Amino acid sequence: MDTELSRIGVSLPENLLEKFDVIIKNRGYSSRSEGIRDAIRGYIRYYDWMSSIEGDRAATITLAYNHHQKGIEDTLNNIQHKYLDIIRSSVHIHMENDTCVEVIILKGEAGKIREIYENIVKNKGIQHVKLDTINPEEI
């Protein structure tokens, strides 16, 4: 394990930092750095898991976004229209304030499912994205 440390600077909205500090305290981390390292390790594990998915899958992509973000609704619609061959359904919910939640239900090749996820997650205004898959052969 590499023990040499690098220092980085991160800009965060105040409310996100406040929530993170509560987690740091509740989990007993000794510092923000320890919590950030743990969060990055979790992100890497999720990315590795997502990258390893193969074959035909049933999946859901759950996302939340700020519907006031300029162009986000058009972008999400364009992404979904590009993948009509594997999108089976979607549900759109209007939450309080400025947030909308969508659940996209898919069935198809894992690579295409990952493409949709990657095309969604990179957009400004996206507040949450989660991919879950089921291998039909394992049921």
Per residue in 41-66, pLDDT (tens digit) is 988 888 888 788 889 999 999 999 99
By the 10 Å C-beta count (0-12 exposed, 13-18 middle, 19+ buried), 20 is classed as middle
Please check the confidence at residue 139 and state whether its pLDDT lies above 80.
no
Looking at the fold, whether 29 and 97 belong to one and the same domain comes out as no
Looking at the fold, whether 73 and 106 belong to one and the same domain comes out as yes
Q: Which domain, by its residues, includes 85?
A: 55-138
Looking at the fold, whether 68 and 107 belong to one and the same domain comes out as yes
Q: How does residue 137 score in pLDDT terms, banded at 50, 70 and 90?
A: confident
Query: How many domains does the chain divide into?
Result: 2
Looking at the fold, whether 83 and 107 belong to one and the same domain comes out as yes
pLDDT value of position 2: 60
94-115 pLDDT, tens digit each: 998 899 999 999 999 999 999 9
